Chains A and B, each alone.
Chain A
């Protein structure tokens, strides 16, 4: 498996524009997570899905942020309108939620999307 795939890897946009980040989880994983990483706040969980259904979106900072998972192999995180303070690295991660043969249930992270809003 290629792992969790995110696109784009880098995005530079002007304030007020709509930004869409994309994620393809590992095949067979039931859980998908969106995290944001900044120097000031570290890694924060924004939202997660189980079987394509949003379970907890309490980490989504504002109504400008929305996330969807139309099917098991694709999710989007959209920011509209974007603001400079949204600049961060956004990670998508997926997990099976069930222990593997080693008893592990860790989440696997994508390479991240570095977003810069100017």
Chain B
């Protein structure tokens, strides 16, 4: 059974600081996804990481994937209040679009 673990599950930080969210998964997979969810809203796709060593950046967010360690990170640089949300990582359990297994999410609060 594929398991996806995120940590921390809750993070409160100040604007301007840097931090990293970690996502570990239990079985081999070469597709990892990061989603953002605002309260009461749907999930917004942030990054898709498809190969070992993949790194993608969008604004203050940068995601990376190490398939050997079965680890992905989401790094936040110089956080701003607008980044407050819950961030989910998800792993594709099969060779194709076989449905995603999600981590429990990291609830991120960025305080002015």
- List A residues at the B interface (Cβ < 8 Å): 30-31, 33, 42-45, 48, 50, 55-56, 59, 91, 93, 95-97, 99, 102-112
Contact = CB atoms under 8 A, between A and B. Distances in A.
A107 B100 contact: yes
A82 B56 CA distance: 43
A43 to B, nearest CB: 4
**Interface range on chain B: under 10, 10 to 19, 20 to 34, or 35 or more?**
20 to 34
11 contacts: A33-B99, A43-B90, A43-B102, A44-B102, A45-B100, A48-B99, A55-B98, A102-B48, A105-B48, A105-B92, A106-B33
B69 interface: no
A75 B88 CA distance: 25
Q: Looking at A107, A109, A111, which has the most chain B CB atoms within 10 Å of its CB?
A: A107
Contacts of A44: 102
A96 B42 CA distance: 19
A15 B40 CA distance: 24
A108 B45 CA distance: 7
A104 B100 CA distance: 14
B41 to A, nearest CB: 7
B98 A104 contact: no
B43 interface: yes
Q: Looking at B35, B92, B100, which has the most chain A CB atoms within 10 Å of its CB?
A: B100
Contacts of B41: 111
A107 B48 CA distance: 10
Contacts of A48: 98-99
Contacts of A95: 97
Contacts of A56: 98-99
B105 A42 contact: yes
